[in-house]
A = this chain, B = another copy of it.
Amino acid sequence: MTSTTYTSRVFSLETMDVPGGTETILRGGRHLFPLLPQAFAGVRRIGVIGWGPQGRAQALNLRDSLAGADIRVAVGLRPGSASAADARAHGFTEENGTLGDWLAVTADSDLVILLIADAALAAHHQEIFAALKPSAVIGLSHGFLLGHLRETGGGFPPGHGVIAVCPKGMGDSVRRLYRQGEDINGAGINSSYAVHADPDGRATDLALGWSVALGSPYTFRTTLDSEYLSDIVGERAILLGAVHGIVESLYTRARLVGDDPVAAYEKTCENITGPIARTISHSGMRAVREGLDATGRDVFDRAYTATYASAREIVAEIYDEVADGTELRSVILAERRLGSRPMSEIGGSPMWSVGDEVHARRGERDLPVEPFTAGVFVATMTAQIDEFAERGHPWSEIVNESVIEAVDSLLPYMHARDVAHMVDNCSRTARLGARRWGPRFQSAYGQIAFPAAEHPADEALLTAFETHPVHEALAAAAKLRPSVDISVS
């Protein structure tokens, strides 16, 4: 069980009740920014390495939050990086000393935040480690590098703090909700933090300061290992991979019973990214079922109980393979193979061609929650929650990786673009994972779960859902962020 208790010399902490105990949390907000210089004691220069979606969001948020402090944020890029122009357009320039070569910026920084792509990290971490100042702290937002080092028998360079602050959402959301925080204090994306190495005792407050500066409404503690597992599994399951499989299987099912493409899309994909995500975000998972009439609840119940077993089986398999290192090996093999054979895109699948028409109809009416779709989706979400709970993840991490990140960040993004866009455009590791596992959900649901939904619902599974400890954990987490407008323009 991961320890979820911690103390801070800088920030006031709170205790949140979770099933089976409590977790320490730091509630964020702009009113804490005056404390940042204290949290960042010993850090005069922060180097954000990489200008992908996370790199950009974090560099901008940090610069804004630290505007009054005497702490410089610089961006480091690979030679010839295509991102240089965009970084300059956002005020990170060579002229003002806030843009440079990644190794040069690394060598000049007291906190080095590594936000380059996983494959680049795998290939270049040793050069980066070699460039570090003696007392520089290594910052990560993702546990991938730990998994990679473990798989390859490497390690972090001794003598350096190693901390992680992991926003539970896409870079786009991390920046957008931070800016909303100018009007609504506390808006943002939650983060977990982890201390992997702490040679001088500074690590916890530095990590907390980093998280507050990113605008995290609340920060909870985890370990790099736990973060890695929940993140890599989550993106293959309810955060992305399973979503793709779910919508493809449901869409096909709707078309097979005679729905035209637009109606089928509205009952399935649009329903998940729209009303179902919104309901869970505002009112929790049970509210999805409670909003249905008696007939709808019966359909939900059958779909839920028919889907749960298949979902749990696949999530367990994903987890085993991520934990074992097998999934990481397949990612590395795929990276090699993609050198010669580019990854195909899934955006050409028939269902995506009706996306535009469906988008155009938005606003004509409020789309009601479709009960079968809802049962399938909520069952998948619950299966992931249960698997993570069984494996000992902290409740904050469980609810963020299985619910909040989905309904507050990823699904709204998919609502604005579409699922295919997401699958074809997210991080490489996530893309590869979604392509491997999405079809497993699609197949199992189409072939096993949906036929089983003809049968009466399993009362024991329904009771387990109704009385699930996650609902309280989710409500407690919801209290810690304001109701922000999470729609993506």
Q: Show the binding face of A for B, using Cβ within 8 Å.
A: 245, 248, 252, 255-256, 309-310, 313, 316-317, 320-321, 324, 326, 329-330, 333-334, 336-337, 341, 344-346, 348-350, 436, 438-440, 442-444, 446-448, 451-452
Contact = CB atoms under 8 A, between A and B. Distances in A.
B248 A350 contact: no
Contacts of A326: 326, 329-330, 333
B446 A309 contact: no
Contact of A448 (B309, B333, B348): B348
A324 B313 contact: no
A446 B329 CA distance: 27
Given A256-B256, A440-B436, A320 B333 contact: yes
Contact of A447 (B255, B336, B348, B447): B348
B333 A324 contact: yes
A368 to B, nearest CB: 25
B333 A321 contact: yes
27 contacts: A248-B446, A248-B447, A252-B256, A256-B256, A309-B344, A313-B344, A317-B333, A317-B334, A320-B333, A320-B334, A320-B337, A321-B333, A324-B329, A329-B329, A344-B444, A344-B448, A346-B448, A348-B447, A348-B448, A348-B451, A348-B452, A349-B447, A349-B448, A350-B447, A439-B443, A442-B442, A443-B443
Contacts of A444: 344, 439
A309 B348 CA distance: 15
A336 B320 CA distance: 10
B451 A349 contact: yes
A350 B448 CA distance: 9
Contacts of A345: 448
A317 B329 CA distance: 12
Contacts of A256: 252, 255-256
Contacts of A309: 344
A293 B333 CA distance: 43
Nearest to A350: B451
Given A256-B255, A324-B329, A248 B443 contact: yes
Nearest to A447: B349
Contacts of A317: 330, 333-334, 337
Contacts of A321: 329-330, 333
A429 B56 CA distance: 46
B310 A344 contact: yes
Nearest to A336: B320
A81 B344 CA distance: 48
Contacts of A341: 313, 316
Contacts of A446: 248, 252, 349
Contacts of A329: 321, 324, 326, 329
A313 B326 CA distance: 20
A27 to B, nearest CB: 39
Contacts of A313: 341, 344
Contacts of A252: 252, 256, 446
Contacts of A344: 309-310, 313, 444, 448
Nearest to A344: B448
Contacts of A334: 317, 320
A329 to B, nearest CB: 5
A373 to B, nearest CB: 18
Contacts of A452: 348
A438 B443 contact: yes
Nearest to A420: B447
Nearest to A325: B329
Contacts of A333: 317, 320-321, 324, 326
Which residue, of A436, A438, A439, has the highest number of chain B Cβ atoms within 10 A? A439
A442 B333 CA distance: 22
Nearest to A316: B337
Nearest to A256: B255
Nearest to A443: B439
A446 B249 CA distance: 11
Contact of A439 (B337, B346, B440): B440
Contacts of A438: 443
Contacts of A448: 344-346, 348-349
